[in-house]
Structure 1
Amino acid sequence: MTDTPAPLETPSDLNHNDTRTVADALNVALADCYAIYLKTKNFHWHVSGPHFRDYHLLLDDQATQILGVTDAIAERVRKTGNTTLRSIGDVARRQQVVDNDRDFVPPHEMLAELREDNLKLVETLRHARERAEAVKDTATSSIADDWIDQAEERAWFLFEASRKV
């Protein structure tokens, strides 16, 4: 006789069907975070030109911040008794942010693309927050505000760094 592991049963006062819809939205945001993280690191590694040092450091700082958010999102999904992403394939199936596999991307295009990706992430996080509010998951709703603020700040920095004044 083999022991079958018990399903994940995290205690919560929230309705599991309700939290599943929130978890689904958070998993899309998480997939986008991973996609933006990898794109940001890609651009960090491949940026060139007269503003190399500034952009290189900016992108590294932003990638570090994004990676930090991934763990918080995944842990929030688990705290509500749900499961989160399990593989790169899972990320690819859920992500809404488009990858960039071009051999060369001019620096101004890198910044503009990441700015738009972060603004798309803001929309995705707002959607997750709205779902959380609808089911009275105030913890998810509250922490999503921080994630939204961070993504807006990244978009702002990318906008300001790419301005041609």
Structure 2
Amino acid sequence: MKRVADRYLATPTDLGADATRDIAAGLSALLADVFALYLKTKNFHWHMSGPHFRDYHLMLDEQSDQIFAMTDAIAERARKIGGSTIRSISHIAGQQRILDNNAEYVEPQDMLAELQGDNKQLVAELRRVHELCDEYKDVATASLIEVWIDEGERRSWFLYETGRSSQQR
């Protein structure tokens, strides 16, 4: 028996049932990671301190805006191909691979290093979904992902360079 959601939410596509299932699942997991990274970036933005406060605070605000901008496009892409996506905070928590940071205080350099690693992790996950898209010849989703990979690499690069100490130079 078909699920009710399948009957009401299925969007016609030429990608096929396997592609819809697999790519939509990949996009949902990406969306959970993007929300986790967005919230962590905002957390560190809100709790930044120290001598470079202004620069770090502004950089993390810019990065969080860029990360949040991905959310709607990811969710809508899953729907365009006939899939569904996350529905709640608990759904995000169940799928996210980027770890939360609930510490009351994190040193600014540790914030930058953690976010740099998280952005690298997100890029790796984006590449995996891109490979899936290539397998199913979903060029539209792959095209979106290519932009997000570039943005993620840029965020990671900025975080790395900003967090380097004078001894590392």
Query: Which bracket does the TM-score occupy, shorter chain normalised?
Result: over 0.9
Unaligned runs of 5+ in 2: none
Root mean square deviation, CA, Å: 1.2
Q: 1:61-80 maps to which residues of 2 (within 5 A)?
A: 61-80=62-81
Residue 142 of structure 1 is matched in structure 2 by 143
Q: Secondary structure at the match of 1:48?
A: coil
- Report whether the alignment pairs 1:32 with 2:33: yes
Cα shift at 1:16: 2.1
| Normalised TM-score (structure 1) | 0.95
Which residue identity is paired with 2:53?
Answer: F
Superposed structure 1 runs of 4+ greater than 4 Å apart: none
Residue 20 of structure 2 is matched in structure 1 by 19
Residue 133 of structure 1 is matched in structure 2 by 134
**Partner Cα separation in structure 2 for residue 112 and residue 123 of structure 1:** 17
**Partner Cα separation in structure 1 for residue 56 and residue 150 of structure 2:** 21
- Equivalent residues of 1:19, 1:135 under 8 A apart: no
> What is the aligned residue count?
162
Unaligned runs of 5+ in 1: none
- Equivalent residues of 1:118, 1:155 under 8 A apart: yes
Share of identical aligned residues, percent? 52
Cα shift at 1:82: 0.4
Which residue identity is paired with 2:136?
Answer: V
What do the CA deviations read for 1:53-98 (whole angstroms, capped 9, x no partner)?
0000000000000000111111111110100110000000000011
| Normalised TM-score (structure 2) | 0.93
Residue 61 of structure 2 is matched in structure 1 by 60
**Partner Cα separation in structure 2 for residue 19 and residue 152 of structure 1:** 27
